[in-house]
Amino acid sequence: MNIDRWQEILETIKTSFEVEDSGTFSSEERGGTETEFIVFNGPLGRLKLEFSTHPAILDTKITYKKRIGAEVHADHVYSSTDKVHHLEVWRWDVGSDEWIPFKSDIF
């Protein structure tokens, strides 16, 4: 998934379905994650798409001590130029009143 394809999907959803909510948010996870989302009513019910962008991991440094019960800590080195994109699809479950991951063989 790339940014151009995500923009095409957004335009298709906005012209074809009733959009309930959309927006962006950021977090400090994975070196700074930017997430754009859209919630809409489609033929499969209420769906939420989340498109996340974060820096690529270049290296992982693991710090440990050779003692029983000692902590293990992993530090990641993130790229300042390369980005990774990820699309998640969620379906609203009326019975439990929460978003659950949408699993389909179509994707």
pLDDT digits (tens, 9 = 90+) for 4-55: 999 999 999 999 999 999 999 998 877 789 999 999 998 888 999 999 999 9
Cα separation, 50 vs 46, in Å, equals 14
d(CA 98, CA 87) in angstroms, rounded, equals 19
Q: Residue 1: its pLDDT value, please?
A: 80
Asked if the model's pLDDT at residue 89 lies above 90, the reply is yes
Q: Are strands 98-101 and 18-27 parallel, antiparallel or unpaired?
A: unpaired
DSSP-assigned letter for residue 67: S
Judged by DSSP in three states, 20 sits in strand
Which pLDDT score, from 0 to 100, does residue 107 have? Answer: 56
CA dist 9 and 85 (Å) reads 14
Q: Is 61's pLDDT higher than 80?
A: yes
Task: Report the percentage of the chain scoring pLDDT > 90.
Answer: 62
How many residues are there in the chain? Answer: 107
Task: Give the pLDDT band of residue 2 (cuts 50, 70, 90).
Answer: confident
Strand 18-27 to strand 73-93: parallel, antiparallel, or no bridges (unpaired)?
unpaired
